Amino acid sequence: MVKKIFRKYDKDNSGELERKESLKLINDVFKSVGKRPVTHALFNQIFSEFDVNGDGVLSEAEMSQFVIKYINELEEQALVDAYIDVEVKKIFKKYDKRKRGKLERKESLALVKDLFKQEGKKAPSTIAFGKIFNEFDVDGDGVLTPSEMTQFVVKFMKLPEKKLSSLTQGSLPQVDKQLLD
């Protein structure tokens, strides 16, 4: 599998990936998991991390380390993002009573109360809730939008890490296929 990827990106068949070839590979990997192309600085950082012997090109062995590390990491991140997205949608479906696509204070309070209850905690005081609400109401307009709610989910709802890592196992061939298309 790694051999195939390597051959695909080694355009000049030199048996090594030069910087330009490596850049294409890295950007394709990023793109396959919905990330933007790397910046110059990030590319340099990644490249020097994997160019272990420092000869300015990636050998097949060096490239395979990149593929294994980054595809796993990025896939995992993409799964976490997808999970958060689903949770935010669920929250809005349940708590956005007026269907405005925003949670008002009262609606947010109902959510926070339910979450505290699930954790076996007492409902927060008005002051404690006010602090929570203000922390996440980044633009201070008195309502929580879905993007503000994303931060809330990250902080308050436990991400099922074990479940996520089991999902990522065996995901390599899938991305591999996309790269080879």
Closest alpha carbon to 113 in 129, 136, 96: 129
From candidates 73, 85, 135, 139, binder to Ca ion by CB under 5 A: 139
Point out which span in 47-55, 74-82, 90-98, 166-174 binds Ca ion (CB under 5 A).
Answer: 47-55
Point out which span in 73-81, 82-90, 105-113, 141-149 binds Ca ion (CB under 5 A).
Answer: 141-149
CB 112 within 8 A of CB 106: no
Rounded CA-CA distance 149/137 in Å is 9
Say whether residue 55 binds Ca ion (CB under 5 A).
Answer: yes
Say whether residue 137 binds Ca ion (CB under 5 A).
Answer: yes
Contacts of 39-45 spanning 24+ positions with Cβ under 8 A:
none
Name the minimum Å distance from CB 144 to Ca ion: 6
Name the minimum Å distance from CB 48 to Ca ion: 10
Where would I find the beta strands (DSSP E) of 17-142? 103-104
Angle at 176 between CA 170 and CA 180, to 5 degrees: 160
Residues near Ca ion (CB under 5 A) are 10, 12, 14, 18, 51, 53, 55, 137, 139, 141
